[in-house]
Structure 1
């Protein structure tokens, strides 16, 4: 969903909740999220009964309003999915998908197998993996299990264990809910404060615009972190440690992550919007991994893994 679509939904929900004479009820929002859900549903039900919106639109408004009102700890798996879908739409607006069904199918089979061995084997909308048609060396994990890997990143993977390590790292971010934690707590505080102050009087366009902007910015917090700023060093190292555990559970060699990082270290170019900007230096991650998995040993590529990997990704 693009920013204009989000704005339309939020303005629509506000218009028919407030237009129905329900503005005073917003003062109760300060008491918790359940009240916001109830008020939103009242407003959208009225709009549906008047033929202004249909059931599908009402459902989307309810889900959006419910999700953005919560801190990341309180967000349900269903709400996390809808937030993640919005983030994913923003990412795919910036990066075109790679239109090679065989390669994307391989990535999904591999990724879903890894996810089953994680501490979050299922999400509301299931895990989905997509290759992005970009030479940037990068990967993104939207809340709810929507994971993207660029062609540039896959070129850093010389064997299947390395590709598995990239996906396991991103699954680690989903498992640890790092994306949701990117939402600034001040966003929610600001929204609730505005609602409490304005709830006893007429809600104007200015106040509604402020709320709409706050909710949009919650999504922007996540996408900006993923694409522009990157997670904190501690979050990245946490995801690496989660990846090691996942890889071991499935039978992949964690040294595959070291191999990928060594290739990345040679290919990253300072100043570009890729892992060089959004992640700790590969050398830092490699040092932390060695403390965790011990001395490096060469990844064994004998057996069926290497031929099937090369058959799909040789010309990526």
Structure 2
């Protein structure tokens, strides 16, 4: 955050706050770890999203501009919320303290990390359906951001992991009763939000 700074435009902050609250209200269970989440948009062109814990979620401007719909953005946010609701961030902190000598190992290659990602994907899909989004359309978010990352495009193992995540999520959606009963939402607000970040 110190390297990039945060987007301070009030319209952008209001849009992302309302979207975050809508998703939190649609969580698959009533008891939440946090009363609200603070979603911070970093002024970076590199697509990235992460949740360090403590109800904070960071999204980069580059990530948001790489997405094609509000469904995709909602999926990314719900996925990061899921990591905190499912206490994945606490597991990551414990792992870092216990195995500091392995900090340089690429997290994408961790089998445990892949399991956590799949858990967060399923939680996010269920949340999106409850919020009125189409979780099937949202699965494209897994790939759209990666397409903008040249370092990921050069790593076939990462691309294979992303494909496994996409296939696992599609299988989950087919087998489960997770469906959206809402209407396809207009994209006007999302496109306006993107235009703010481009200016």
Instruction: Calculate the TM-score normalised by the size of structure 2.
Output: 0.76
| Counterparts of 2:72 and 2:161, CA distance in 1 | 17
Say if 1:233 and 1:185 are closer, same or farther in 2 by CA, change over 3 A. closer
Say if 1:121 and 1:250 are closer, same or farther in 2 by CA, change over 3 A. farther
Q: Deviations over 1:205-254 (max 9, x none)?
A: xxxxxxxxxxxx8xxx9xx79xx746711111110010011001111111
| Counterparts of 2:160 and 2:78, CA distance in 1 | 17
1:272-311 matches, within 5 Å, as 281-294=161-174, 305-311=186-192
Q: 1:131 aligns with which of 34, 41, 57?
A: 41
Say if 1:249 and 1:93 are closer, same or farther in 2 by CA, change over 3 A. same
3-state DSSP class of the match of 2:51? Answer: strand
Say if 1:271 and 1:278 are closer, same or farther in 2 by CA, change over 3 A. closer
Q: Which residue of 1 aligns with 2:25?
A: 116
Unaligned runs of 5+ in 1: 1-91, 189-216
- The answer on whether the counterparts of 2:47 and 2:146 sit within 8 Å (CA) in structure 1 is no
- The answer on whether the counterparts of 2:53 and 2:90 sit within 8 Å (CA) in structure 1 is yes
| Counterparts of 1:250 and 1:304, CA distance in 2 | 11
- The answer on whether the counterparts of 1:168 and 1:246 sit within 8 Å (CA) in structure 2 is yes
Q: Which has the larger radius of gyration?
A: 1
Unaligned runs of 5+ in 2: none
Q: Which residue of 1 aligns with 2:58?
A: 148
Q: 1:101 aligns with which of 10, 21, 40?
A: 10
Q: Which residue of 2 aligns with 1:183?
A: 93
- The answer on whether the counterparts of 2:26 and 2:127 sit within 8 Å (CA) in structure 1 is yes
| Counterparts of 2:191 and 2:13, CA distance in 1 | 14
| Counterparts of 2:33 and 2:186, CA distance in 1 | 27
| Counterparts of 1:151 and 1:122, CA distance in 2 | 27
3-state DSSP class of the match of 1:235? Answer: helix
- The answer on whether the counterparts of 1:129 and 1:147 sit within 8 Å (CA) in structure 2 is yes
Number of residue pairs the alignment of both structures matches? 182
- The answer on whether the counterparts of 1:236 and 1:279 sit within 8 Å (CA) in structure 2 is no
Shift of 1:288: 1.1
Q: Deviations over 1:30-85 (max 9, x none)?
A: xxxxxxxxxxxxxxxxxxxxxxxxxxxxxxxxxxxxxxxxxxxxxxxxxxxxxxxx
- The answer on whether the counterparts of 1:120 and 1:175 sit within 8 Å (CA) in structure 2 is no
Shift of 1:256: 3.2
Q: Deviations over 1:123-166 (max 9, x none)?
A: 45631111111111111112232111111110122111111111
Say if 1:94 and 1:244 are closer, same or farther in 2 by CA, change over 3 A. same
Structure with more relative contact order (C-alpha pairs < 8 Å, separation 6 or more): 2
